[in-house]
Amino acid sequence: LGLAEPLTRAADLLWCCGEHMGALFDAVPQAMRGAHTPDARTLAPLLCAELRDGDAVLVKGSFGSRMRDVAAALDALAAHSHAEGVG
């Protein structure tokens, strides 16, 4: 896939979902593979569990991929962390 090479220069980890993202996930080095799941709902808790203070996350996907589920989970995590005085 044409995205793998530029991705390896710009990101530390790849977290992706959906059947069409499997090839990209397999194309990046093992050390860059966060997780690949069937859908956004499954991906969201895995990603949130691995985030650390100072991490930056780019959420990219079509409306149909329901990446809003991932964005909502990240928003909830940020609100929870803020309420606890973390971050």
Domain extent for 36: 4-83
In whole angstroms, give the CA distance from residue 75 to residue 67: 12
* pLDDT score for 37: 96
Q: Tell me, what amino acid is at 5?
A: E
* pLDDT score for 24: 94
Residue by residue, pLDDT tens for the chain (87 residues) are 588 999 899 999 999 999 999 999 999 999 999 999 999 999 999 999 999 988 999 888 888 888 899 999 998 988 887 677 755
In whole angstroms, give the CA distance from residue 71 to residue 68: 5
Q: How many domains does the chain have?
A: 1
Task: Concatenate the DSSP letters of all residues of 23-56 into one string.
Answer: HHHHHS-GGGEEEEESSHHHHHHHHHHH--TT--
Is residue 37 within 8 Å of residue 8, measured between CB atoms?
Answer: no
* pLDDT score for 87: 55
pTM of the prediction?
0.80
* pLDDT score for 1: 55
